[in-house]
Amino acid sequence: MAAPSQRSMGMPWRRGFPILPLALFCLLWMHAQVITAGALAAEPLIVAHRGASGDAPENTIEAFQLAWQQGADAIEGDFHLSQDGQVVCIHDKDTQRTAGQALIVAESSLEDLRKLDVGSFFGPRYSGARIPTLAEVLATVPQGKKIYLDIKCGAAIVPPMLEQLKRA
């Protein structure tokens, strides 16, 4: 009887080694497909980023109301804290882009921010649109709909924001 070769006596697991990465890949791929299929089975939400910002000036009451009319499931707004502690809905830290005047939100009172026209840059139809407060934005949210709050400043905004959310 012939002696077994060193190759056949060697580590038998090495023969199957090239299959191991392929099997692992297949298992992971199948798991990912199950997760993806489950996620897609959930009803997707239509979120209006800064309101209907393609059709109205962003972060304005006009944009949020239009988003609801267009069938959004949720709106997203950007929020800063004014100098006098009011939570206001504006994306940038200053008003230059939307109002044409460079007031820094954190250094301006709500009264001063309210004097600005943040709609004319979008078109004459929206002339006179103002920077809304969080309370005004919350008042637009219909029953059963959602709002996402994007905090654009520091943690000091959290207490007044929570207070307004409790009152809404």
Token pair belonging to 88: 């206001």
Comparing 65 with 43, the larger pLDDT belongs to 65
Distances (CA, A) of 88 to 6, 26, 30, 33, 116: 78, 51, 47, 42, 13
Comparing 93 with 4, the larger pLDDT belongs to 93
What is the tens place of the pLDDT at every residue in 79-107? Answer: 999 999 999 999 999 999 999 999 999 99
Q: What is the mean pLDDT of residues 15-26?
A: 61
In the predicted structure, residue 40 carries a pLDDT above the cut 80: no
Check 47, 55, 83, 91 and give the catalytic one: 91
CA quadruple 30, 33, 38, 39: dihedral sign = positive
In the predicted structure, residue 56 carries a pLDDT above the cut 70: yes
Say which amino acid occupies 99.
Answer: A
| 91 among known catalytic residues | yes
Question: Interior CA angle at 101 toward 97 and 102, to 5°?
Answer: 80
Which pLDDT does position 116 carry in this prediction?
99
Q: Is the pTM of this model over 0.85?
A: no
Alpha helices by DSSP H, the chain: 6-9, 13-16, 19-41, 61-69, 96-99, 110-114, 134-138, 158-167
Token pair belonging to 144: 């059963």
- 48 confidence band (pLDDT: 50, 70, 90): very high
Cβ density class 12-39: b for 16+ within 10 Å, e for less: eeeeeeeeeeeeeeeeeeeeeeeeeeee
| 49 among known catalytic residues | yes
In the predicted structure, residue 167 carries a pLDDT above the cut 80: yes
What is the tens place of the pLDDT at every residue in 108-148? Answer: 999 999 999 999 999 999 999 999 999 999 999 999 999 99
Check 49, 50, 80, 130 and give the catalytic one: 49
